[in-house]
Chain A
Amino acid sequence: MTRFLVGRLLLLVVGLLVASIIVFATLRVLPGDVAQVVAGTQSTPAQVEQLRQQLGLDRPVVVQYLDWITGVLRGDLGRSLVTNGAVGPEIAEKLAVTLPLAGMSLVAALLVGVPLGVLAAVLRRRAGGAVIGFLAQAVAAVPVVWAGMLLIALFAVTLHWLPTQGFPLDGWGEPARAFSSLVLPALTIGAVEGAVILRFTRSATLSVLDADHVRTAAAVGLTRTQALLRHGLPSVALTVLAVLGVQIAGLLVGAVVVEQLFSLPGVGRMLVTDVGRRDVTKVQSELLVLTGLVLLVGFAVDVVHRALDPRQREVGE
């Protein structure tokens, strides 16, 4: 296990490094002159040159990269080209919205996907199973934007149960309002992502229904349902867990669109704005943070999955 842990950790670190290089390198391929863009069209060449030196854009690319990376390791994510505000604290502030959103979406997706997936497998020969399967297919094909719009149309505009958009200015200082602002967004992502998880769970349960060890459990005296629940579902859970790491990446990313739709002050929406403004230093740190989160979650899921499966826990591997 330790060998695996170390190897996987190494992969994580290398992954982060590669990500940072790719992000940085790509953004430096910008057509046009960043300093010029920031300085504006009215400035003189001398002012642009001064700005370039101020921003450190005249130094060799490798030096700029190392400067950024060492800063990140220290906790300094740079400063915005547009506002000159510190990027780190702002990301932290927005994460206070995005992370709870991702968490709630995950819970919603699992609550929808897993039980219905198992049910769809158990009912596979009856109409109910086919209906669930069909609905899952349909919902998974829906663009997140439209799903969100439908939910807003139903719950906010027509029924007035939940706010249409926005997040309280006070943030989590008003926990009830903050939470209710995240419900529809979380349901949006949860529904679509849940449909994908449903299909996975269904497939995993199907293979377990006919599994030999489930049959053995019934043969020693359990009912077929008991055998499935006690001996089949743990295998299903393990399979779903294996896939979950990839899905969680999707959650973090689906949040980008949803934050825009529901006007939530999260990292995703900030990213969209900054990309539009070509605020390179912010974008590079934001992308690094988001990618880092995705890689980290993937790492965590891999480790947990490995720890739970006795077949992979051998000492002498």
Chain B
Amino acid sequence: MSGTTDQRTARDGLEVRGLTVRIAGRTVLDDVTFTVPPGRRVGVIGASGSGKSMTSLALMGLEPTGAEVTGSIRLDGTELVGLRDRERARHRGSGIGMVFQEPGTALDPLRRVGAQVAEPLRLHRGLDRRAAATAAVALADAVGLPDPASLLRQYPHQLSGGQRQRICIAMAMAGSPAYLVADEPTTALDVTTEARILELFERLSTDRGTGMLFVTHDLAVLARIADTAVVLDHGRVVEQGSVRTLLDAPQHPATTALVDAARATARLTGGST
């Protein structure tokens, strides 16, 4: 028990300071600063084009080729900006993982999903083929996939959207990363599946102490999954703080616009935020 606390405080968190990304002369992210404390869930919201996705890609070192990245991204004390891809790749999957928006295209269509889950297992845990296959089944089970042994023998196109996303989550967690970046992971899913996947994210972060950066445009999802959030507008952080405050008392016009829009939709659908 105290071991866990020590572990927690020994980590500094995922600290982003002055992150700026320029592509072909255009500034896509401008001086973005926030922190994901260890084990906490932080949301990123904004309208389309606000730079949400670019933030998550930049954290992973997967920004488009030709993009200029300046500023600082510290993963529990290690500076990531400026590293060559070979060194950066060492942190991907083991220090920080990512789940993307479109599970349909995120998986290799030519390989069985079991092999795709096994790949990071072998990479990060040094397992041989057989051990990795066993570990993959355990991991698939941990992310809530039914009948994992036979499901892993299938190809991506044979699975449902929710199942594919769970596979992606399994792959992202395979290296036991300290932090997970999720870029609109439930946007392409139906509402029921979305709820279950969000449950999964909550469980993973609580059980494993994984810090999460959750990118979304949906305030309902944000309210559910995150404690604090960062609001992006045109590449800049315009407001950040607890989700409760952002929703009840938004300061910046961009935040207000998002909240108002969400309220209007909720009124139309008869629900409440």
User: In the complex, is A directly touching B at CB under 8 Å?
Assistant: yes
Please tell me if the beta carbons of A216 and B110 are within 8 angstroms of each other in the complex. no
Which A residues are CB-close (under 8 A) to B171? 216, 220
**A216 proximity list for chain B (CB < 8 A):** 100, 106-108, 168, 171
Cβ of A213 within 8 Å of any chain B Cβ, yes or no, is yes
Q: Note all chain A residues with C-beta closer than 8 A to B65.
A: 125
Known: A222-B89, A224-B89. 17 other contacts (CB 8 A): A125-B65, A212-B100, A212-B106, A213-B105, A213-B106, A213-B107, A215-B106, A216-B107, A218-B92, A220-B119, A220-B174, A221-B90, A221-B93, A221-B94, A221-B123, A223-B86, A310-B155
List of 9 A-B pairs having minimum Cβ-Cβ separation, nearest first: A221-B93, A212-B105, A220-B120, A223-B89, A220-B93, A219-B98, A213-B108, A310-B155, A216-B106
**B92, closest chain A residue (CB):** A221
| Size category of the binding interface on chain B | 20 to 34
The reply to whether A311 and B106 contact each other, CB–CB distance below 8 Å, is no
How many Å lie between the Cα of A309 and that of B111 in the bound state? 10
A-B residue pairs in contact (CB < 8 Å), sample of 19: A212-B102, A212-B105, A212-B106, A213-B108, A216-B100, A216-B108, A216-B171, A220-B119, A221-B92, A221-B93, A221-B124, A223-B85, A223-B86, A225-B85, A226-B89, A231-B108, A231-B111, A311-B109, A311-B155
Q: How large is the interface on A (under 10, 10 to 19, 20 to 34, 35 or more residues)?
A: 20 to 34
| A interface: dominant SS | helix
B3 contacts A by Cβ under 8 Å = no
Contact between chains at B100 and A218 (CB < 8 Å)? no
B271 interfacial by beta-carbon distance below 8 Å: no
A211, A221, A222 — most chain B CB neighbours (10 Å): A221
Say yes or no: is B243 at the interface (Cβ < 8 Å to chain A): no
Chain A residue numbers with a CB within 8 Å of B119 are 217, 220
CB distance from A143 to the nearest CB of B (A): 38
A238: interface (CB < 8 Å): yes
Bound Cα distance A215, B183 (Å): 13
Contact with A along B169-213 (1 / 0, CB 8 A): 001101100000000000000000000000000000000000000
| Min CB gap A271→B, angstroms | 41
A223 neighbours in B (Cβ, 8 Å): 85-86, 89
Report yes or no: A211 in contact with B120, Cβ–Cβ below 8 A.
no
Asked if A221 and B89 sit within 8 Å, CB to CB, the answer is yes
- Does B62 count as interface, using CB distance less than 8 angstroms? yes
> A250 at interface (Cβ–Cβ under 8 A)?
no
Chain B residues with Cβ below 8 Å from A219 are: 60, 62, 92-93, 97-98, 100, 172
Q: Is the CB of B108 within 8 A of A217?
A: yes
Q: Check if A89 is an interface residue, CB within 8 A of chain B.
A: no
Asked whether, in the complex, the Cβ of B110 is within 8 Å of the Cβ of A235, the reply is yes
**Chain B residues near A309 (CB-CB < 8 A):** 110
In the complex, what distance in Å separates the CA atom of A12 from the CA atom of B260?
64
A215-B92 Cα distance, complex, nearest whole Å: 12
Q: When the two chains form their complex, are residues B123 and A222 in contact, meaning their CB atoms are under 8 A apart? A: yes
Residues of B within 8 A of A40 (CB): none
- The yes or no answer to A234 lying at the interface (CB within 8 A) is yes
Contact partner of A310 (CB less than 8 A), chosen from B93, B109, B120, is B109
> Which A residue's beta carbon lies closest to that of B105?
A212
A125-B65, A231-B108 known; A220+B97 contact, CB < 8 A: yes
Is B85's CB under 8 angstroms from A224's CB?
yes
Within 8 A of B (CB), among A190-238: 211-213, 215-226, 231, 234-235, 238
Contact between chains at B105 and A311 (CB < 8 Å): no
Q: Is the pair B175, A311 in contact by a Cβ cutoff of 8 Å?
A: no
Q: Which of B93-141 contact A (CB under 8 A)?
A: 93-94, 97-98, 100, 102, 105-111, 119-120, 123-124
How far is the CB of A169 from the nearest CB of chain B, in Å?
49
- A310, B110: Cβ atoms closer than 8 Å: yes
Chain B residues in 8 Å Cβ range of A213:
105-109
Contacts of A234 in B (CB 8 A): 108, 110
Q: How many angstroms from the CA of A235 to the CA of B156 in the assembled complex?
A: 15
